[in-house]
């Protein structure tokens, strides 16, 4: 049985975490698309007080989330590229700043994901309460 040096294990973990972030962001982009379609549809009771204002607020918040997703995607691409450079040059033992950067990325992603889940829950709770009811 061969043992992988701890730095190699750490680099593998970083790589897998990065892949999880990318996958998660792709899924979130699909959810954002669905929520935008929902908010722009005509499935809500039109006599709901402040309907337009509330839907507009959610749409604006989703625009900000889309901007955050784009920033995260760019950061992840940069992070991946740096990891590739480290693997090629085998310089990880000399440069621990990459680990610190990775930890910061973890915190940033978790914070974003938490805020996104809250927004999604707010949109679904609001939308679910004002959907038009089917008439027979």
Q: Which residues of 95-114 are buried (b: 16+ CB within 10 A; e: fewer)?
A: eeebeebbeebeeebeebee
- Compute the distance between CA of residue 73 and CA of residue 62 in angstroms, rounded to an integer: 16
pLDDT in tens, 6-52: 577 888 899 999 999 999 999 999 999 999 999 999 888 888 899 99
- Give the confidence band of 2 by pLDDT, cuts at 50, 70, 90: very low
Helix axes 51-89, 97-129, angle to 10 degrees: 160
- Compute the distance between CA of residue 48 and CA of residue 129 in angstroms, rounded to an integer: 10
Residue pointed to by tokens 């940033």: 108
Which range (45-49, 76-80, 109-113) has the least confidence?
45-49
- Give the confidence band of 136 by pLDDT, cuts at 50, 70, 90: low
């Amino acid at each position: 049985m061969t043992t992988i040096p701890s730095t190699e294990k750490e680099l593998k973990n970083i790589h897998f975490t990065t892949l999880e972030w990318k996958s998660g962001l792709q899924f979130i982009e699909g959810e954002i698309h669905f929520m935008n379609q929902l908010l722009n549809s005509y499935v809500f009771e039109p006599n709901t007080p402040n309907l337009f204002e509330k839907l507009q607020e959610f749409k604006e918040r989703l625009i900000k989330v889309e901007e955050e997703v784009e920033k995260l995607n760019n950061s992840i691409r940069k992070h991946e590229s740096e990891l590739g450079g480290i693997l090629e040059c085998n310089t990880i033992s000399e440069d621990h700043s990459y680990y610190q950067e990775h930890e910061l990325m973890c915190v940033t992603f978790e914070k974003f994901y938490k805020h996104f889940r809250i927004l999604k829950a707010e949109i679904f709770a609001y939308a679910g309460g004002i959907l038009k009811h089917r008439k027979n």
